[in-house]
Structure 1
Amino acid sequence: MDPTTATGIERAEGGAPTVAARLERLPMSGYQRRVFGVIASAWLVDQIDVALLTFLLGSIVAEFGLSPAEAGQLAAMTFAGQLVGNILAGTASDRFGRKTVFQVTMVVWGLASLAAAAAWSLPVLMACRFLIGVGVGGEAPVAQAMVSEIVPASVRGKYIAIMEGFWAVGYVLSGTISFFLLPYLGWRAVFVVVGLLSLVVLAVRRAMPESPRWLAERGRHAEAEAVMAGMEAAVVRATGRPLPPVAPSVAPAPEARAVGNPIATLFAPAYRRRTVMAFGLWFFALIGFFGLNSWIAVLLKEKGFSIIGSVGFVTLINIGGIPGFATAAVLLERLGRKPTTALFLVCAAATAWVYGSATGETGLFVSGFVMQFFMFGMWSCLYAYTPELYPTRARATGAGFASAFGRIGAILGPMIVPVLVRDYGTAAAFQVGAGGFLIAALLVLTLGIETRGRVLEAVSR
């Protein structure tokens, strides 16, 4: 008799529970939270660097005398780098491991941030921002895969959403650093400070374990067993209790195993519909988000705010993203991935439309705060949902390619906005953003599947 049929538990040769089954039976403890904290802290510092251009663009435009088109090209370089990083690091992570690639990405963007401080011309600064994008973009799919593979299914969405919520915190910290340093030391000093932060986090993340799911998938069973045994012992020490029985799990479908190439897996019949949804979701959501956020400070300046005043204003409305991601983390586990993602996208569209039509500081602040609540909550949904759609051998690749399609939208957004603002006024930028969010919501509702509470191996069937 098949042991899976008898017990509902996926077992390896010889009847031993597999890594996936053993991982799912582990209760959340201080050990998993510490590992999560290492990943999330790296993510936080990454997002501080990504957000910098939102706050520094006005000063950089003034120093280099950039035209609106040149400013848009500079903003787009970060997203171009992220596109490359998403694809390279995502596929490399599925081939060479999560931990190694995760560390390399931080070295790349940390050094590039320090180099950006010394940029003497627009082309040099554009090259630095491209490399920053490669590093930060490379971290995204790897971080998603790592958290989803270590955290149990019952709380997986919540923890990935919380990790992504550190982006909102990163935006606020980026604005705070810029607000206090920019008037006295200039934009170059801000790049130096953030680049030095990367070295601190790099030292911390060296203690992070490799994903035992990935090791088992690659046939490195002895290493997977060593990591798994270490995790089990750490959880026992953290909880002070024996481990519960092995949780039920589901073996991957036979047809899924037959596709060895991770890129080919994305377009296999079992995953093709998910891939169309994920790629389109990221593209339209990011064309909306970055089309708005890359130009908010500049648009505020056109409404009469000073450079420093606009930086402070944007920092304050970004605080709305913190309760936004916290709310998304709760709803992802209670309502599910599909309805929560669609809800935040629709609400982001509505509030972007309102913000674009607002007048007066009070109206701008209230509508902007609520807009960021839903837009940052939307990000938590994207990052929680995407890695669950694919099997372990293609998880980071799928997340990376979906993110890469998003970066195409992120590149187009900042380039389209100045043309629209020139021809139709500032409200047009927010109307286009709202349209992008609505299309993304429609894709989720029509093509999306529900993954809440399901073991990753079961979702992969």
Structure 2
Amino acid sequence: MPSINASEVVNTARLNGFHYLLVAWCSFIMMFDGYDLVIYGSVLPHLMSQWNLSPGEAGLLGSSSMVGMMFGAVALGTQADRFGRRRIILFCVALFSVAALANAVATGPNSFALCRFLTGAGLGGVVPNLVTLLKEMSPGHCRNRLINLMLSFFAVGGLLSGVAGIYLIPAFGWQAPFYLAGLSLLALPLLYKTLPESVAYLLHRDRQAQVTSLLRRVNRAHRPTGEVSYRLDTTGDVATRSITALFGQGRALSTLMLWLAFGLCMLMVYGLNTWLPKLMSNGGYPLGSSIVFLVVMNLGSLVGTLVSGVIADRWGCKKTLVLFFALAAVSISLLGLRPDATLLYGLLLLAGGSTVGCLSVVHTLAADLYPVQVRSTGVSMAAAVGRCGAVAGPLLGGLLLSLSLPFEQNFMVFAVPGVLAVFAVMLVARPRLSDTSPIPQRSL
């Protein structure tokens, strides 16, 4: 029986309707990820006023979703190598949709924090698996661009959350944006019907018939005759899904530095998205204008994510991350100098584009670093540890406000992680072993 390398079938495919639908679904889910997380920055001033929250308490409340994301990435995201990408994605979408909708009926900080934690748990489990699924099912010549296109919808969600904060909150109260967040529930039946499983997972379970059918959809030029057997290539003889595999074959330093880069990136992204309106408001800008600043920054995030994907395909992930982290540090630090309106909007665009651009590329770098049988575990663990930075971001903003530092120093503090991340990325190296050995097939 002839053996066919399934990786080559996927890599040499031309883009077709299968890929467009997959990217559309992943982007749709990613849009709600951005919406559900960034909306807290819009409702925060209203919650602080209604519930008499101190900056420290508001920071803790903001971090509850980040703690949930860390929990979700570990408890849910890493299970995809065992139960399949598709099952975990569907469960996580249901979880974060219901939890986000429940936020609208929260009666106080405690119930609100619980809903935010569950929302974060769903989001933390779904994002690494979206990246992994899209990476494993995309043609090699455009893989980074498709992943970054999908991740750019985080910024689309952030934009929508800012618009919701501007128009819905004054008219209907802070609860209104959370009702919109629950709309993702309506897509679950169609998502269940059309979302595919990854070839890598199906081969791990020796589901050859399903692989044959799926590969014909992935690559329409692939029409094998007779009975064939599919295989994947993997790095060396790694056959374990244990987390210890992330440190084997010379990956220990790279894994640690990848985790650090993830954390520093998320600190900037979630710290700024949580506290930018409040920081700008405290700096003398009207609250309405401060929420507009959040919208502008997320518009920059959208552009930056798309641009970073193109650059990553040409330069590679490491060089792209070094450039974007450096731009993030410079642009964020300059925000504190109270520039004129034109320069301020330009810096906000650059800050949003560089920070979220880094967030999208660092996911791709994580997916590149690990072999297929531990890829979901590797990406999920990097995202989970990185959530420490996401937790620290809202807490750091609350600490800065409580210290009543000069306006410019607040932004200088948020710029420091960008500098540190440059050095962390430079220490990440690809594995030295080549992908040559066939994957061992397993049954349930």
What TM-score results when the alignment is normalised by the length of structure 2?
A: 0.91
Matches of 1:380 and 1:261 in 2, distance apart? 24
The reply to whether residue 178 of structure 1 matches residue 158 of structure 2 is: no
Of the three residues 258, 272, 278, the one matched with 1:278 is 258
* Structure 2 match to 1:351: 331
Matches of 1:231 and 1:290 in 2, distance apart? 36
Counterpart residue identity of residue 356, structure 1: G
The reply to whether residue 219 of structure 1 matches residue 201 of structure 2 is: no
Matches of 1:455 and 1:336 in 2, distance apart? 17
Verify the 8 A CA contact 2:136 2:198 in the aligned structure 1: yes
Counterpart residue identity of residue 91, structure 1: T
CA drift of 1:23 comes to: 1.7
Please list, as runs of the form range in 1=range in 2, the aligned pairs for 1:12-27 lying within 5 A after superposition: 14-27=1-14
* Structure 1 match to 2:25: 38
Verify the 8 A CA contact 1:390 1:398 in the aligned structure 2: yes
Please list, as runs of the form range in 1=range in 2, the aligned pairs for 1:265-414 lying within 5 A after superposition: 265-414=245-394
Counterpart residue identity of residue 224, structure 1: V
Q: Measured at CA, do residues 423 and 299 of structure 1 come closer, stay the same or move farther in structure 2, by a change above 3 Å?
A: closer
Please list, as runs of the form range in 1=range in 2, the aligned pairs for 1:227-238 lying within 5 A after superposition: 227-232=214-219, 235=220
Q: Measured at CA, do residues 122 and 219 of structure 1 come closer, stay the same or move farther in structure 2, by a change above 3 Å?
A: same
Matches of 1:219 and 1:391 in 2, distance apart? 18
Verify the 8 A CA contact 2:267 2:393 in the aligned structure 1: yes
More moved, 267-276 vs 57-66: 267-276
Counterpart residue identity of residue 381, structure 2: F
* Structure 2 match to 1:202: 188
CA drift of 1:242 comes to: 7.6
Matches of 2:178 and 2:49 in 1, distance apart? 17
Verify the 8 A CA contact 1:157 1:385 in the aligned structure 2: no
* Structure 1 match to 2:227: none
The reply to whether residue 80 of structure 1 matches residue 67 of structure 2 is: yes
Of the three residues 248, 258, 263, the one matched with 2:243 is 263
Counterpart residue identity of residue 78, structure 1: S
Q: Measured at CA, do residues 272 and 221 of structure 1 come closer, stay the same or move farther in structure 2, by a change above 3 Å?
A: farther
Please list, as runs of the form range in 1=range in 2, the aligned pairs for 1:128-167 lying within 5 A after superposition: 128-167=115-154
CA drift of 1:306 comes to: 3.4
Matches of 2:420 and 2:429 in 1, distance apart? 13
Counterpart residue identity of residue 260, structure 2: G
Q: Secondary structure at the match of 2:285?
A: coil
Q: Measured at CA, do residues 350 and 261 of structure 1 come closer, stay the same or move farther in structure 2, by a change above 3 Å?
A: same
The reply to whether residue 442 of structure 1 matches residue 423 of structure 2 is: yes
Verify the 8 A CA contact 2:41 2:276 in the aligned structure 1: yes
Matches of 1:53 and 1:149 in 2, distance apart? 33
The reply to whether residue 98 of structure 1 matches residue 85 of structure 2 is: yes
Matches of 2:171 and 2:431 in 1, distance apart? 50
Q: Deviations over 1:349-408 (max 9, x none)?
A: 111111122245444323212211212221221122211111122111111111111110
CA drift of 1:455 comes to: 9.8
Q: Secondary structure at the match of 1:160?
A: helix
CA drift of 1:278 comes to: 1.4
Please list, as runs of the form range in 1=range in 2, the aligned pairs for 1:64-75 lying within 5 A after superposition: 64-75=51-62
Verify the 8 A CA contact 2:369 2:431 in the aligned structure 1: no
Unaligned runs of 5+ in 1: 1-13, 244-248
Q: Secondary structure at the match of 2:105?
A: coil
More moved, 362-371 vs 122-131: 362-371
More moved, 131-140 vs 442-451: 442-451
Q: Deviations over 1:266-305 (max 9, x none)?
A: 1223432331121111012222222232110111111233
* Structure 2 match to 1:251: 233
Verify the 8 A CA contact 2:259 2:382 in the aligned structure 1: yes
Verify the 8 A CA contact 1:338 1:449 in the aligned structure 2: no
Verify the 8 A CA contact 2:199 2:211 in the aligned structure 1: yes
Verify the 8 A CA contact 1:39 1:205 in the aligned structure 2: no
RMSD: 2.4
Percent of pairs with identical residues: 27
Counterpart residue identity of residue 203, structure 2: A
Matches of 2:334 and 2:69 in 1, distance apart? 30
What TM-score results when the alignment is normalised by the length of structure 1?
A: 0.88
Of the three residues 16, 39, 52, the one matched with 1:52 is 39
Number of aligned residues: 431
More moved, 350-359 vs 79-88: 350-359
Matches of 1:42 and 1:416 in 2, distance apart? 28
Verify the 8 A CA contact 1:82 1:404 in the aligned structure 2: yes
Q: Secondary structure at the match of 2:336?
A: helix
Q: Measured at CA, do residues 267 and 446 of structure 1 come closer, stay the same or move farther in structure 2, by a change above 3 Å?
A: closer
Verify the 8 A CA contact 1:86 1:137 in the aligned structure 2: yes
CA drift of 1:438 comes to: 1.4
CA drift of 1:428 comes to: 2.7
Matches of 2:241 and 2:361 in 1, distance apart? 27
Q: Secondary structure at the match of 1:17?
A: strand
* Structure 2 match to 1:120: 107
Q: Secondary structure at the match of 1:252?
A: strand
Q: Measured at CA, do residues 111 and 250 of structure 1 come closer, stay the same or move farther in structure 2, by a change above 3 Å?
A: closer
Matches of 2:121 and 2:209 in 1, distance apart? 33
More moved, 263-272 vs 88-97: 263-272
Of the three residues 156, 159, 163, the one matched with 1:169 is 156
Q: Deviations over 1:67-105 (max 9, x none)?
A: 111100111001000001111222111110000100000
CA drift of 1:323 comes to: 1.9
CA drift of 1:59 comes to: 1.1
